[in-house]
Amino acid sequence: MSTWSAPSARERWEIIQSTKSVAMMGASPNPARPSYFVATYLVSSSCSFENIWFVHPTAEEILGRPVYKSLADLPGPPDLVDVFRKPSDLPEVADEAIAAGARTLWFQLGLWDEKVAQHAHDAGLQVVMNRCLKIEHARWAGGLHLAGFDTGVISSRRAV
């Protein structure tokens, strides 16, 4: 049995490139929530993801798309489960991702649990923690200038 270790930047990009379906667990219909911001990017950008599914227990629709109550309700197994849930939910989320046949479990910024990562890794999943899927995609795809990241505050240009 191998020990989980955080994937490198190159390995994270390889995960993204091989991903065709993403299930956003904890996606919110509230435009003020970070998950809504990420969902907007994934749906509207030139991501190569063929399917982006939203998972939320009470929402009906996000960005004009249907919302599923759980990973088990998805029309197929997700390649990647992008998690926007509180830290105490992570063990349950990992079990649900394993049962759904996911290949990768991706915990968004601020989410880190090495015990849960090891459990998912032992079940055959790749695990990324404390990383934003939108930022990682944009970093490699040249999209960090999109959706508010080009603030102009930090610049190599001299003030005129």
- pTM of the full structure: 0.88
SS3 label, residue 120: helix
Q: Which two tokens stand for residue 15?
A: 């995960």
- Taking alpha carbons only, the member of 16, 34, 53, 47 closest to residue 111 is 34
pLDDT digits (tens, 9 = 90+) for 133-160: 999 988 887 666 544 444 444 445 565 5
pLDDT digits (tens, 9 = 90+) for 91-117: 999 999 999 999 999 999 999 999 999
CA–CA separation, 3 and 118 (whole Å): 7
pLDDT of residue 45: 67
pLDDT at 9 over 50: yes
For residue 132, what pLDDT band results from cuts at 50, 70 and 90? Answer: very high
pLDDT digits (tens, 9 = 90+) for 39-63: 999 998 667 799 999 999 999 999 9
Mean residue pLDDT across the chain: 89
Domains of the chain as residue ranges with CATH: 9-141 (3.40.50.720)
